[in-house]
Structure 1
C-alpha cells in the first residue's frame, strides 16, 4: 500500500464500531469530494471497524441506499477491522464518537505516527458526535449522518488545503 509512510500520499482512515454505517459513509463522502476536486491520486482513504462482527461483509443496506440517494453510486467496500499496522500507515485516524476515540487510544501502539481525531470536530461547533444510525429504524438517521459527514469532510479538506498555502 502506498500510504502515509511513503511520503507521497496523505492517508486518512475512518473508524466506527462496525464499519457498516458511519465510517463507510465518511469514506465514500471523502472519496467523492476528492474526486470532484481532482485530488484522488493525492490521498489514500479507507475505513475500518473497532469490532469484528461484520468483517468480510458489505456496509449496511441503508448506508448504500443513502449513498445512492445522495449521488454516490460507485462506492464499494468490504468491512474490515482496524489493525496495528493502520497506526503506522495513516496520518489521521478519525473516530465518530467518544467511545470510538477511547477504543482507538486503548489500542494505539506507543510511537505510532497516526493522529487520532474525532471527525465531528470539523465543520460543526455544536455537535461533535456523529451518532450511530444503526439501531434506529429511520432512513433519515442515515441521511443526517451523511449530511453531517459532508460538512465535516469539507471542513477538514479546507483546513488541509490552508496548511499547504
Structure 2
C-alpha cells in the first residue's frame, strides 16, 4: 500500500487539495483501500486550521468531497511513515529536507539545501515535487498569493493523475 504525504507551506491550500484530489482519484479507480494519503505543512503558521475556503469551494465545484482537516507540521517521523513525500514548490522542498534533518523553526522561509543535505535527509529517495511526476518541472501555483484556485487545481490534478498512473505500473 503506497503511503503518500503531500506537503505545502501551511497545509490549508495546495497540500490539502492534493490530498483530497488523490483520495478521489484512487476511489474512482477502485483503489481506495490500497492507498494511505495525508498532508502536512512545512511551517507552523496555520497549525490546527481547516482547509482554506477557496480550496474547499474549488473542490466542491468539481465534485470532490473535502472533510474536516486540521493543519499539522511534518517532522522526521514522517519519513518512516510515508513512502512518498511530495512538495508543491521549491521552498516546500527545502523545508521538507530541513525538517527531515531535524531542524526546528517557524518555517516561514527555508534556506536552500545543498545536494549533500538533500542526500542526508532523503537517503531512500522518497521526496519529490508534485509536477515532476507529470514531467512538468515547475512549482504548483500557490493560490495564497494568486487567489487563483482554478490554476492550482489544474496543476494538482495533472500531478496527481501522473503520480497515480506511475504508481499503478
TM-score, normalisation: structure 1: 0.84
Question: What is the alpha-carbon distance in structure 2 between the residues aligned to residue 64 and residue 44 of structure 1?
Answer: 21
- Number of aligned residue pairs: give it: 150
| Counterpart among 66, 69, 82 of residue 90 in structure 1 | 82
Residues 12-161 of structure 1: pairs in structure 2 closer than 5 A: 12-109=4-101, 110=120, 113=124, 115-125=126-136, 127-136=137-146, 138=147, 141-161=148-168
Q: Is the 8 A contact 2:11 2:71 kept in 1?
A: yes
Give the CA deviation at 1:75.
3.2
User: Equivalent residue of 1:47, what SS?
Assistant: strand
- RMSD, aligned CA: 1.7
Cα offset, 1:40, TM superposition: 0.9
- Alpha-carbon distance in structure 2 between the residues aligned to 1:111 and 1:121: 19
Deviation at 1:124, TM superposition (A): 4.6
CA distance in 2, matches of 1:68, 1:124: 28
1:29–1:150 contact (8 Å) kept in structure 2? yes
Tell me, yes or no, if the aligned pair for 2:141 and 2:155 is still in contact at 8 Å. Answer: no
Shift in CA distance, 56/34, structure 1 to aligned 2, threshold 3 Å: same
1:74 CA displacement: 4.2
- Unpaired runs of at least 5, structure 2: 102-119
User: How big is the shift at 1:114?
Assistant: 6.3
Change (3 A) 1:38 1:60: same
Structure 2 CA distance for aligned equivalents of residues 149 and 143 of structure 1: 10
Contact 1:55 1:79 in 2 (8 A): yes
Aligned residue number for residue 115 of structure 2: none
